[in-house]
Structure 1
């Protein structure tokens, strides 16, 4: 999924799964890391999508909507293609995964610690299983919003 251009509006569900605040490292270049906070939000009404807000010390926050399955798989293997990819670091290194976000405006790589993200994702799957995450979605409404078309009555 792409950075904050999605019509999906993830809301937090603090009573079910509180937002996860993680200290991650943004790779400025091969040798320079910049610490940044990432806030992961889960919405049980849209369980397949995790909203991740990267809160820079200076400058505006950046929100990306990332597939929950992509994040989950990226903890143990290469996951995703296109704008968002995630994969674990080499064995023997810290228990972290790389998260690569690419768009016309942004190309950035983050090191994300695996244990807290894995625990948090497991909590989201206890609320809504992978098998049930697409049940009950309003696909017609989603497509109308995606295509920016006004609602129409069907006969």
Structure 2
């Protein structure tokens, strides 16, 4: 069984123009980092012209499907019946995107099949991680 789930999603960038352009994005979950989700935007879709990856908690993404969540760099909230808004705050500015809620739900279901919610800690090897930290400190 794979330890990584990657799912392309269609994101719509909220901009001043009436038509929101679609941009490709990828949601990624890795069992080796069981609390985190990564959302990557390819270089052509970013202002900097380089791939941009945001990391945030799976719990934040799931909770944001039902109510506004987050007070830091990443915020998630429902928008209407079938959309979810993700806000990414950086010193350069804020990007606001819409993603179909069904796409996010499918992604979260797949991550839950890989690592059930609430059992993420079982994926961690704290002894190994501590040994790595000590080794790097010497």
User: Where on the TM-score scale, by shorter chain, does this alignment land: which range?
Assistant: 0.7 to 0.9
Please report the TM-score for the alignment, with normalisation by the length of structure 2.
0.81
Work out whether 1:152 is the aligned partner of 2:137.
yes
CA distance 1:99–1:137, change in 2 (3 Å): farther
In the alignment, what sits opposite 2:84? 97
Aligned equivalents of 1:122, 1:113: Cα separation in 2? 15
In the alignment, what sits opposite 2:101? 114
Superposed CA RMSD in Å reads 2.7
Partner deviation per Cα, 1:65-104 (whole Å, 9 max, x = no partner): 011111111112111111111100135xxx0011001011
| Deviation at residue 133 of structure 1 after TM alignment | 1.1
Partner deviation per Cα, 1:88-137 (whole Å, 9 max, x = no partner): 0135xxx0011001011231100011002101111101211221113325
Work out whether 1:24 is the aligned partner of 2:27.
no
Q: Which has the higher strand share?
A: 2
CA distance 1:29–1:110, change in 2 (3 Å): same
SS in 2 for 1:18: strand
In the alignment, what sits opposite 1:66? 56
Gaps of 5+ in 1: 1-13
Aligned equivalents of 2:87, 2:17: Cα separation in 1? 14
Aligned equivalents of 1:61, 1:53: Cα separation in 2? 7
Work out whether 1:77 is the aligned partner of 2:67.
yes
Aligned equivalents of 2:93, 2:125: Cα separation in 1? 30
Gaps of 5+ in 2: none
| Deviation at residue 32 of structure 1 after TM alignment | 4.2
* Contact map agreement 1:76 1:87 (CA 8 A) in 2: yes
Q: Which has the higher helix share?
A: 2
Runs of 4+ more than 6 Å apart = none
